[in-house]
Structure 1
Amino acid sequence: MNYRESEREKALRTRDSFFNDPGNGVHQGKHYPFVLMNPEKNLWKGVRQDAIQYFDDNKIVWWPGSDKPAGHLLSSQISCVNHLFLLRNDKEGALRILKNINPEFSEVCPDFEGGFVGFEVVSNGSYLGEAQEGKGQTRGANCTSVDAMMTGIKTGKKIQVLIEWKYTEFYSKSDKSAETGGATRKSRYDNLIDDKDSPIQRTVGIENLYYEPFYQLMRQTLLAWQMIKHKQNELNADDWIHLDVIPENNLNLRYQVSSPDLIQTGIEKAWKSQLKEPHKYNTITPQRLLSPLIFDNKYRSLIAYLNTRYW
């Protein structure tokens, strides 16, 4: 049994009592026992209404393409919101998380909406050439976005922390440069990947970067670089860090790399090997990321929820 199967079984065991929901909700036109009838119950009650309002206010698309949260109990977007949304208006807690990422952080900075964690963050400009001419980018759909982002001051410099959030994902060996739309993808990203100032320093054929999860990491890395390059249009940050949050027991994602020339290494080692500054990318578990809050009574309800549901 792989991690996704075990988490699905766990969700089914706890569904009725934990969520007070019979399941058999609709996901992409079909009914499934691991999808809640009332999707809002998929969000922790401590942030539920505020999170829904935040997504509405900022016209953010809920996965897999809706104006309402998904009822799918294995949604990584829902997991990300459940873990981090409480910190959006908690300056002290957000700073503790930044210090946990790197103890040299001394201050947490607000985003454009005034919060300390942003969700489904996109750039203000279409630096990767993904938006249709004359149209803006939609957060959470049809362009490169980051599941969550924080910004802080570290050794006098403003640093953007891009957070990619995984739950039960694992990926097949599929080259997105050879699929339908592959030529368009390559026209967008190939020149940026091999630009002399690119943060990527590939040692393998460029097609390896079009296999998930590296396809996503590649785009987010390019986005981070471009947001710093165009800092005057963004949050005026000086540098970036890229954090990949992966559950400890999702071994398929951690170690079964799909790219042919990177297949002997795990995801962290493999992606670091393709970066000019490998220290900027790291993986971490959800528990370790939130470890500064675990024994604080202020977060007792949140930690109890996360521990029962995810950890």
Structure 2
Amino acid sequence: MGKFLESEKRRQTKFKANSPYFSEAARADGVYKGKPRPFCLPLDCAEENLFPEIRQTAPAYFDAQGIKWHDGRNGKPSNHLCDSQVCCVNFLFPFAQKPRALAEVLRPIFPGLREMLPVENGQYVAFEWIGQENYLGERISRNGKRTRGANFTSADAAVLFERSDGKRQMVLIEWKYTESYGSVPLKVAASGTDRTEIYKPLYLRNDCPLNKDLLPSFDSLFYEPFYQLMRQQFLAHAIEKAHELGA
């Protein structure tokens, strides 16, 4: 467990106790993984983990798009105040209907940005983006549907804009907050699936976006965070090749 996570737990505990953003009921310890914790909200108050401006609109969007909240219950976000997905949504969702403000945030990184374009349903930020097609050939459940935010490679957020040269550009965003990683190999899933069988065809392609000269082996990618970054790079590469949303 990282030192930054521990310091954030203390900071969030103080924030919950003193911030006007929370109701009195939300200031109580919240149960997380079976234990009451001061840096978590009571489950009944989990929606208060979101910025007040988006406490109605963000869950409604997640529900409409079938997006899974990490550690969420009953359509609500995680009650853990150090949750990375919630942090991402709190920062970016307020810009979902504010294209000019969003452009100001992104333009220092993308100076050629001329104007933001909607990604889906009129929103200028999409969350848990998995692409319009199953580009990576990941296994689909029996109901035939892919799930955003669970069991498929998802970018935490995606934005689309038109550049000064008239071309469209899509950007996938990976959000980190208090993550830390161990040394557990992820080559074989808990279900027994050998994950290398899914991603090796992409790795062996002539247009593989990874610099293989820097890798000891393909298997070395099956440790976090490299496993996640590998899949997201494959996804970004496939989206670019498909000219998704005209980009």
CA distance in 2, matches of 1:107, 1:181: 45
TM-score by length of 2: 0.88
The correspondence for 1:35, drawn from 40, 46, 67, is 40
The correspondence for 1:195, drawn from 205, 212, 215, is 205
Partner of 1:51: 58
- Check conservation: 1:23, 1:34, Cα contact below 8 A: no
CA distance in 2, matches of 1:23, 1:165: 28
CA distance in 2, matches of 1:229, 1:63: 30
- Structure 2: segments with no counterpart, 5+ residues: none
Alpha carbons of structure 1 residues 121 and 83: separation in structure 2 relative to 1, 3 Å: same
The one-letter amino acid paired with 1:101 is I
> Per-residue deviation at 1:184?
2.7
Alpha carbons of structure 1 residues 87 and 217: separation in structure 2 relative to 1, 3 Å: same
CA distance in 2, matches of 1:180, 1:39: 29
> Per-residue deviation at 1:159?
1.1
CA distance in 2, matches of 1:183, 1:55: 29
- Check conservation: 1:112, 1:235, Cα contact below 8 A: no
Alpha carbons of structure 1 residues 139 and 213: separation in structure 2 relative to 1, 3 Å: same
> Per-residue deviation at 1:54?
1.0
Query: Any idea what the Cα deviations from partners look like across 1:220-243, whole Å, max 9, x if unmatched?
Result: 110111122233xx3121xxxxxx
CA distance in 1, matches of 2:191, 2:166: 43
CA distance in 2, matches of 1:28, 1:195: 42
Query: Any idea what the Cα deviations from partners look like across 1:104-140, whole Å, max 9, x if unmatched?
Result: 1112111122111111111121111222366121111
Query: Any idea what the Cα deviations from partners look like across 1:195-247, whole Å, max 9, x if unmatched?
Result: 1112112221112211111111111110111122233xx3121xxxxxxxxxx
CA-based RMSD: 1.9
- Structure 1: segments with no counterpart, 5+ residues: 238-311
Pair 1:111 & 2:119 matched: yes
The correspondence for 1:88, drawn from 90, 96, 106, is 96
> Per-residue deviation at 1:44?
0.8
- Check conservation: 1:228, 1:236, Cα contact below 8 A: no
Pair 1:214 & 2:226 matched: yes
- Check conservation: 2:72, 2:79, Cα contact below 8 A: no
Q: Does 146-155 or 13-22 show the bigger shift?
A: 13-22
Query: Any idea what the Cα deviations from partners look like across 1:239-290, whole Å, max 9, x if unmatched?
Result: xxxxxxxxxxxxxxxxxxxxxxxxxxxxxxxxxxxxxxxxxxxxxxxxxxxx
SS of equivalent to 1:144: coil
SS of equivalent to 1:106: strand
Alpha carbons of structure 1 residues 187 and 23: separation in structure 2 relative to 1, 3 Å: farther
Partner of 1:151: 160
Partner of 1:102: 110
CA distance in 1, matches of 2:224, 2:184: 8
CA distance in 2, matches of 1:118, 1:73: 22
Partner of 1:14: 15
CA distance in 2, matches of 1:72, 1:189: 32
The one-letter amino acid paired with 1:95 is A
Partner of 1:165: 175
- Check conservation: 1:144, 1:223, Cα contact below 8 A: yes
Alpha carbons of structure 1 residues 32 and 148: separation in structure 2 relative to 1, 3 Å: same
Alpha carbons of structure 1 residues 193 and 144: separation in structure 2 relative to 1, 3 Å: same
- The alignment-based identity, stated in percent, is 39
The one-letter amino acid paired with 2:38 is P
> Per-residue deviation at 1:33?
2.2
Q: Does 27-36 or 200-209 show the bigger shift?
A: 27-36
Q: Does 54-63 or 123-132 show the bigger shift?
A: 123-132
